[in-house]
Amino acid sequence: MNDTFLRACRGEGVDYTPVWIMRQAGRYLPQYRRVRERVDFLTLCKTPELAAEVTLQPVEFLGVDAAILFSDILIPVEAMGMRLRFYDRKGPVLSRPVRTLDDVRRLRLAAPEEGVPFVLETIRILRRRLKRVPLIGFAGAPFTIATYMIEGGGSKSFLNTKALMYSSGETYHALMRKITDMTITYLTSQVKAGVHAVQIFDSWAGALAPDDYKAYSMPYVKETIKALKPLGVPVIYFVNNCGGLLEYARAAGADVIGIDWRVDIGSAVRRLGQRVSVQGNLDPCALFSSVGVLKAKVADTINKGRRARGHIFNLGHGILPETPPDAAKALVEMVHELSSR
Amino acid sequence: MNDTFLRACRGEGVDYTPVWIMRQAGRYLPQYRRVRERVDFLTLCKTPELAAEVTLQPVEFLGVDAAILFSDILIPVEAMGMRLRFYDRKGPVLSRPVRTLDDVRRLRLAAPEEGVPFVLETIRILRRRLKRVPLIGFAGAPFTIATYMIEGGGSKSFLNTKALMYSSGETYHALMRKITDMTITYLTSQVKAGVHAVQIFDSWAGALAPDDYKAYSMPYVKETIKALKPLGVPVIYFVNNCGGLLEYARAAGADVIGIDWRVDIGSAVRRLGQRVSVQGNLDPCALFSSVGVLKAKVADTINKGRRARGHIFNLGHGILPETPPDAAKALVEMVHELSSR
């Protein structure tokens, strides 16, 4: 197995900069859309043979250095007893949002083998079929999961989440306690089923003021990462919109900090120091550049990333559905070529 | 006239921290909603007596240290020949988005007295009726205006804007040239009509990678600010989602940098240095806190802001429509009380 990705996570020497792409199994790929013509998104997540198939699609087509389990961060939330639906334009909707201590008490903590057996089965299939590169498992960060549970879906202002934090701290922290316990159990079960690394997605951390991030998100991520340490797999912590948060995010103790494109990776490396690897951070829109512009951006990201303990090249956010598949393929080749020693 | 706001902009001594609130004339106020029951948003912007009335409402009700002209950053874009409509849920829509050099050439540069006479008339009315505090005029930053013109409205990914930047640089820069000329003329006319300060809103700057911000947004803001310098009024440059951009934003040469809530104001002051004042940056959601939590957040912001050359207290973004008016009023009192020497 090509372990370049895992070596970069740990800060060990590599022959080139490894690369994978957030949402690399997704709508921009015609082969993915063909599978989705047959099943809806949730069914796809819950059908191990199909979830494994779409996980493998970009590994073969793009030549990336890691696969990431096809699933969604809200899958384990459904197993906690909330009704989950996905709409093409509106995104996820969770019925009966969590707003009171009673709502929190009603949430179940099922064993993953009972609540989300299909996720673990997908991992087992992938461990048999995926030989070339490591497999990444993942979960949402507790704060990010909490926003969906409190808002009942996506949000622009996160007003309900923050109002709960600022005026009903007991309820907020009780909910975070429960989500954190779920997340630890969930990620542990993924590692035991065979993933080689895990990524924790804090997609909405960047909606918090830094002091609030420090009080309301980071401690729960830190606890999650600490619980995973004995399992010995690298933990990537993706902090979206991290410009104001990097110093605090570092304290969560991940092996790798994933950063979005709104910070300069050189400046991020300086702020994060040499005890952590960095993942990122090309603007997903850069895949719509002329070749010369793209090449300059990729070279700059690689060169700045070299100053980190370890660098995994990635986009700074999920690849856009409008992206031409060949542009993604060309990106992967470019990263390999430009970074080879 | 209470000139505390203007003194803080210039970094002169003040007896207390001045405060105003972005979107202080807006939907959270019942007196504003009563006016809007009679006229739609665009009509309100274009009816000087009514625009002046809603501009004055928060000055009286909240006791803020500055008034800001009631208008919208897209008003001068309509005068450039694009059709503008506002929808309650969807926001602004501009017909026939700008995508080619021909589209750019078709844009008009009308004199403000002809294109937007109602804005200047609103300012003249306000200069007669507003005695207590200074009046702030405003415009969108050229990049932010460009995003609306290219996308045809709001956007999540700004894909069309960035694709134009990255693949048709000539068209992008020709558009920015024209918008910048318009912005300079527009703000100059506002100052000549009587505003005491201007704010440039770069609402979407934070969607750019720092190197892109430096190449595609900042130079045009810098040019705008330079052109305004001889007029002698303070220029505030609000950079939304500024976490990755502060060092570059400083180079635009504004008297005051307005910051959003996603950065720590203490850290922002360190990064910006002592040649510029700072405006901001309480999370708008903090107005939904219990009193104790709010007070601690306000005190912290004031204390960290004291280390700046000058500090104007504000929210880190526009006040939310759901905000209880009394919470906004209490905030203003709290800022005055906690910051008085």
Catalytic residue among A23, A250, A271, A309: A23
Q: Give the residue numbers in B contacting A (CB under 8 Å), as ranges.
A: 157-159, 162-163, 166-167, 206-212, 241-245, 261-264, 267, 283-286, 288-290, 293-294, 300, 316, 320, 322
Query: Residue B241: pLDDT above 90?
Result: yes
Under DSSP, the state recorded for A318 is: P
Under DSSP, the state recorded for B126 is: H
Spell out which residues of chain A touch residue B212, defining contact as CB-CB under 8 Å: 283
- Amino acid (one-letter) located at B65: D
Spell out which residues of chain B touch residue A284, defining contact as CB-CB under 8 Å: 157
Q: Give mean pLDDT, residues A77-99.
A: 94
What's the confidence (pLDDT) of residue A88?
A: 80
Query: Residue B316: pLDDT above 80?
Result: yes
| Confidence band of B250 (pLDDT split at 50, 70, 90) | very high
CA B164, B169, B174 angle in degrees (round to 5)?
A: 100
In the numeric block, the tokens 């709010």 are attached to B294
Cross-chain residue pair A264–B211, CB shorter than 8 Å? yes
Per-domain residue ranges of chain A:
4-339
Spell out which residues of chain B touch residue A271, defining contact as CB-CB under 8 Å: none
Of A176-180, A337-341, B309-313, the range with the lowest mean pLDDT is A337-341
What's the confidence (pLDDT) of residue B88?
A: 80
ipTM here: 0.96
Spell out which residues of chain A touch residue B162, defining contact as CB-CB under 8 Å: 283, 285-286, 288
Give the gap in angstroms from C-alpha B68 to the nearest C-alpha of chain A.
Answer: 23
Which residues in B7-45 are b (16+ Cβ under 10 Å) and which e?
bbbebeebebbbbbbbbbbbbbbeebeebbeeeeebebb
What's the confidence (pLDDT) of residue B89?
A: 80
Query: Residue A188: pLDDT above 90?
Result: yes
Which residues, other chains included, contact A103 with Cβ-Cβ below 8 Å and sequence gap of 6+? Answer: A96, A97
Q: Which residue of B has its CA nearest to A322?
A: B159
Annotated active-site residue A213? The verdict is no
**Total beta-carbon pairs less than 8 A apart between chain A and chain B:** 113
Query: Residue A215: pLDDT above 90?
Result: yes
Cross-chain residue pair A167–B286, CB shorter than 8 Å? no
- Identify which of A206, A245, A288 has the shortest CB distance to residue B166: A288
What's the confidence (pLDDT) of residue A32?
A: 98
DSSP string for A87-119: ETTTEEEESS---SHHHHHH-----HHHHSHHH
Q: Select the residue from B147, B264, B282, B303 to test the A interface by mutation, using most A Cβ atoms within 10 A.
A: B264
Annotated active-site residue A105? The verdict is no
- Whether the CB-CB separation of A17 and A334 falls below 8 Å is answered with no
Query: Residue A341: pLDDT above 80?
Result: no
> Whose CA is closest to A339, among A300, A308, A281?
A300
What's the confidence (pLDDT) of residue A235?
A: 98
Query: Residue A255: pLDDT above 90?
Result: yes
Give the phi and the psi of residue B311 in degrees, each rounded to 5: -130, 125
Q: Which residue has the higher pLDDT, A88 or A150?
A: A150
Query: Residue B75: pLDDT above 80?
Result: yes
Cross-chain residue pair B262–A290, CB shorter than 8 Å? no
Cross-chain residue pair B263–A316, CB shorter than 8 Å? no
Q: Which residue of A has its CA nearest to B248?
A: A264
The mean pLDDT of chain B is 97
| Confidence band of A90 (pLDDT split at 50, 70, 90) | confident
What's the confidence (pLDDT) of residue A141?
A: 98
The CATH fold assigned to A4-339 is TIM Barrel (3.20.20)
What pLDDT digit, counting tens, does each position of B150-167 carry?
999 999 999 999 999 999
Q: Give the residue numbers in A contacting B (CB under 8 Å), as ranges.
A: 157-159, 162-163, 166-167, 206-212, 241-245, 261-264, 267, 281, 283-286, 288-290, 293-294, 300, 316, 320, 322
| Distances A127 to A137, A192, B296 between C-alpha atoms, Å | 12, 12, 51
- Identify which of A157, A242, A283 has the shortest CB distance to residue B285: A157
Spell out which residues of chain B touch residue A170, defining contact as CB-CB under 8 Å: none
What's the confidence (pLDDT) of residue B90?
A: 83
- Identify which of A163, A300, A316 has the shortest CB distance to residue B288: A163
Spell out which residues of chain A touch residue B244, defining contact as CB-CB under 8 Å: 243, 262-264, 267
Give the gap in angstroms from C-alpha A168 to the nearest C-alpha of chain B.
Answer: 8
Give the gap in angstroms from C-alpha A262 to the nearest C-alpha of chain B.
Answer: 4
Q: Give mean pLDDT, residues A252-256.
A: 98
Q: Give mean pLDDT, residues B171-181.
A: 98
Residues linked to residue B87 through DSSP beta bridges, in sequence order:
B91
Q: What percent of chain B has pLDDT over 90?
A: 98
Cross-chain residue pair B162–A288, CB shorter than 8 Å? yes
What's the confidence (pLDDT) of residue B67?
A: 98
Give the gap in angstroms from C-alpha A301 to the nearest C-alpha of chain B.
Answer: 11
Query: Residue B341: pLDDT above 80?
Result: no
Q: Give mean pLDDT, residues A55-76.
A: 98
Cross-chain residue pair B162–A290, CB shorter than 8 Å? no
Q: Give mean pLDDT, residues B80-99.
A: 94
Under DSSP, the state recorded for A19 is: B
